[in-house]
Amino acid sequence: MSDQPGRVTATLMAAGKYHDIDYARLELLRLFAEHEHLRVRVVSDFEDADAIADSDFLVSYACDVRPSEPAQHAIRAWIEGGGRWLALHGTNAALDIGKPTGVESPRCFPVWADTLGSQFVAHPPIAPFPVVVADPDHWLVSGIEGFETDDELYLCEYHDRDRLVPLLETQYNGDATGFAESDWSATDPRHLVQYLRPLGEGAVLYNNLGHCRGHYDMIPLTDYYPQIERCSWEIPQYQELLRRGIRWAMRLEPRS
């Protein structure tokens, strides 16, 4: 009998606004290629939920991608039945830009936000901030020391927070300049950076780091964005977190 691992299939959903999706997609495919028995299907939305459910796991990198209600319910049901979803960065974000009060985050997909365990609301201007390991005994983060990253610090509205399993966190009280909901001075200062969201027989692993943007990713707001932003993608700890997240999704975590 062959001792080679069997074929594993994944769906990568990489799409959205205001980010260098091509860069993120390529980086994730490079990490997937470290597993020669993994085959990946790349899509630009969540609407073919049947095909997602036929995959062994789902990975998403998105911003302002708003799935239809049927897709939201179908993907939730798949997770409850045992599916695993590695969700990255803006998967939980819906943005309305150009409003007089600033960027709004409409609560337009409550099923989606509840499935993910959170919805993005705002972030302060990109600046270095510390990331702390919240559960050093969990294999997804064990041995990874706290680190500083120059990224978007996500300020979120949490769903079922008592059931979320914190893995990485940071603290912040202050302003989220440019967003309609900008005053975070009196809120709980503890903000989750990576967590597990158990759901039925399955789970979501959410890591909200990983902002990236190139010169042409803010069209039509501006024709040319002056700087290249790679943020956490250039930090070794983030790369290791992604590798472990993929292993988790493939059910390759260490056995106790």
Q: Once rounded to an integer, what is the mean pLDDT over residues 98-126?
A: 97
Q: Once rounded to an integer, what is the mean pLDDT over residues 14-31?
A: 98
d(CA 180, CA 166): 27
Fold of the CATH domain 8-249: Rossmann fold (3.40.50)
pLDDT higher than 70, residue 15: yes
pLDDT higher than 90, residue 128: yes
The mean pLDDT of the chain is 97
- The answer to whether 225 touches 103, Cβ cutoff 8 Å, is no
Give residue-wise pLDDT tens across range 30-72: 999 999 999 999 999 999 999 999 999 999 999 999 999 999 9
Give residue-wise pLDDT tens across range 153-179: 999 999 999 999 999 999 999 999 999
Q: Once rounded to an integer, what is the mean pLDDT over residues 228-236?
A: 98
pLDDT higher than 60, residue 2: no
Please give the pLDDT value at position 138. 98
Please give the pLDDT value at position 254. 82
Domain extents in the chain: 8-249
* H/E element, 42: strand 38-43
Q: Once rounded to an integer, what is the mean pLDDT over residues 73-101?
A: 97
pLDDT higher than 60, residue 1: no
d(CA 147, CA 132): 7
Q: Label residue 139 by pLDDT band (50, 70, 90).
A: very high
Please give the pLDDT value at position 227. 96
d(CA 43, CA 53): 13
SS3 167: strand
Q: Once rounded to an integer, what is the mean pLDDT over residues 227-241?
A: 98
Beta strands 8-16 and 118-122, pairing class: unpaired
Q: Once rounded to an integer, what is the mean pLDDT over residues 143-155?
A: 98
d(CA 79, CA 14): 19
pTM of the model: 0.97
